[in-house]
Structure 1
Amino acid sequence: MRPSARRPAGRLAGRPLTLRGLLGAFWPQISVTWGLTLAEVVMFALIPLLIGIAIDGLLAANFEAFILLGAVLAALVLLGTLRRVYDTRAYGLIRVELGKELAKRSEDIPVSRLNARLGMGRELVNFLESDAPESMTAVVRVLAALVILAGFHPGLALAAMAALTATMLTYALAHNSFFRLNATLNARAEQQVGVLETRSGPKLGAHLLSLRKSEIRISDTEGLIYGTILTALLGMEMFNLWFATQSLGVTAGGVFSIVTYSWDFVESALILPMTLQTLSRLSEITIRINQMEAAE
């Protein structure tokens, strides 16, 4: 009997090493941290509106909205602190279990490849800890911005929707390129330990140069996509600022809310294609780290 057969089964035993597999194995921990994240983002989404109302109230010598704003900000501080304390413990457990399961399934794989894949596997957990909550935050903020802008005038929300559509179409055109470029980068990363073991300066130089070229190609693609998306989103911000001041009869607090939510929309909409790009990379990593079972 192989030594691995005597080891106790972990939470990931029999599961694919994918985002879905991690969610299925650790759903209690992830549900708590994502629930706290959603509560936090909803409160964040309300802040600009509460500030606008507080501005109008203070100008009229009414302090009720100002006091409410202070209470919400205090609750936000408490909630954000508790979430971060819990996150470190929950996702630390997931990283440990994933690393153990990767090693258990990889006894016949060269150490150089296993070393690279352990790092790649951690990217799955990093996504669940950082990118997924950030994308949920972005979705909630985008929806909140659209609803509140539509409350001021439908034209403001339509401008935002047009910018969002341009954003998603731009990313869709680059998806295949991102997948292909990340596949090349990951393949070279798996070769790194083997190159180091040769103790050959020329081979190491060639390897590092190839890594640099792959990273430059990814960066250039990211830069082009970012510039195109940001142009569309900033155009929306300028339109909403012009429309709010020239065509709507709203108060100073109302103009502040419109401009703030438009900018909040810009920041949040920028996160969505970045999240999709990360998913493109993780989809290639998922295929790569699950290939090890065929090698056993």
Structure 2
Amino acid sequence: MQNNAFKTLKGIVAEHNKKLILTFALVLAENGLFLAYPIFAGFAINAIMQGNTLNALIYALFVLIAWLVGAIRRRVDTQVFANIYAKLAVNVIMNEKQNAKDDSAIIARVALSREFVNFFETHFPMFFTSVISIIGSAFMLIFVEPKVAVACFTVMTFFLIFLPRYIKKNDDLYLRLNDRLEKEAKVIGVFNKSTLNRHYDVVSKFRIAISNREAMSYFIIGISASLLFLVAIIVLSSQRTNAGHIYSVMTYIWNFVISLDDSPKLIEEFSNLKDIGKRIDAQKKDNDAQQERS
């Protein structure tokens, strides 16, 4: 991540560390519970098939606890991040005014600054969830079905090899897209139809290019998913097993591939954030406090 973006994120963490620790502790708890979900579900399936209803009911209690933690996390999220954005927007406006930026540029950059809050509110928890689900599911499969776990780690290695090139291309696309978006207020101010058409045509082309890359990634991940399920079916068919075990294996694979599917979108968001970090100054400065007192 570029230096200015990192400094901005670091500043947000320093100023709101207690609130963010609480939020991400809830994210960690929620993900830990969902990572254990296939094991509890498999246990419940076997208990039902054996006629042991009481043991199966443990699964219902587990689901209730998991959703309760999720509900608390979502409630805390809104309160924490609405407050963070309010303070961040003020910092951006004050800093850009001191740098003698015109109002249209300031408005555009305040809108862009929202992406830093979105990073913590949406993208970081999603990234955190994806990493836990990808690595956690593969790790759990080591104990549940080792051969399938090897296949999952092979898929992970394949995508990691191509990741740097994918990120570099995304960085370039978001650089060019945000160049256009930052000029949008000026283009609207010109109020010329041909200029407006040209501007929005270019913006559309960049968005389509980004979307096409995401669609291709989705397709490639789909191929990987089908191969993983193929391996799992062959392995499970070659041995004696029970319904709960089969369900656990299939669910861990599903969690693995669904989280992989989130990765392209997350990489796009990080590329966007890096570029925004080079454009805006959202860090709190000492002279802000002096201006407030004057």
| TM-score with structure 2 setting the length | 0.88
Cα RMSD between the aligned structures? 2.0
By relative contact order (CA 8 Å, sep 6+), the higher-ranking structure is 2
When structure 1 is superposed on structure 2, of 207-216 and 165-174 the one drifting more is 165-174
How much does 1:93 deviate? Answer: 0.5
How much does 1:16 deviate? Answer: 7.3
Residue of structure 1 aligned with 2:196, choices 173, 195, 204: 204
Residue of structure 1 aligned with 2:257, choices 266, 269, 274: 266
What amino acid sits opposite 2:116 in the alignment?
L
Assess, with a 3 A threshold, how the Cα gap between structure 1 residues 24 and 146 changes in structure 2: closer, same or farther.
same
Residue of structure 1 aligned with 2:246, choices 247, 250, 255: 255
What amino acid sits opposite 2:238 in the alignment?
S
Secondary structure at 1:18 match in 2: helix
Report the Cα distance in structure 2 between the residues aligned to 1:292 and 1:83, rounded to whole angstroms. Answer: 27
How much does 1:95 deviate? Answer: 0.5
How much does 1:251 deviate? Answer: 0.6
Residue number in structure 1 paired with 2:137: 145
Residue number in structure 2 paired with 1:213: 205
Deviations 1:208-265 (A, max 9, x none): 1111111122222222233223322331122112222x22321111111111111111
Q: Which runs of 5 or more structure 1 residues have no equivalent in the other structure?
A: 1-14
Aligned residues: 278
Residue number in structure 2 paired with 1:11: none
| TM-score with structure 1 setting the length | 0.88
Residue of structure 2 aligned with 1:112, choices 92, 104, 109: 104
Residue of structure 2 aligned with 1:63, choices 53, 58, 79: 53
Report the Cα distance in structure 2 between the residues aligned to 1:89 and 1:172, rounded to whole angstroms. Answer: 36
Deviations 1:2-59 (A, max 9, x none): xxxxxxxxxxxxx976222212221111111110111111111112211111111111
Report the Cα distance in structure 2 between the residues aligned to 1:59 and 1:43, rounded to whole angstroms. Answer: 24
Report the Cα distance in structure 2 between the residues aligned to 1:159 and 1:195, rounded to whole angstroms. Answer: 51
Q: Does 1:26 align with 2:16?
A: yes
Report the Cα distance in structure 2 between the residues aligned to 1:102 and 1:200, rounded to whole angstroms. Answer: 30
Q: Does 1:83 align with 2:73?
A: yes
Aligned 8 A contact 2:8 2:283 in 1: no
Residue of structure 2 aligned with 1:233, choices 199, 210, 225: 225
Percent identical pairs in the alignment equals: 25
Residue number in structure 2 paired with 1:12: none
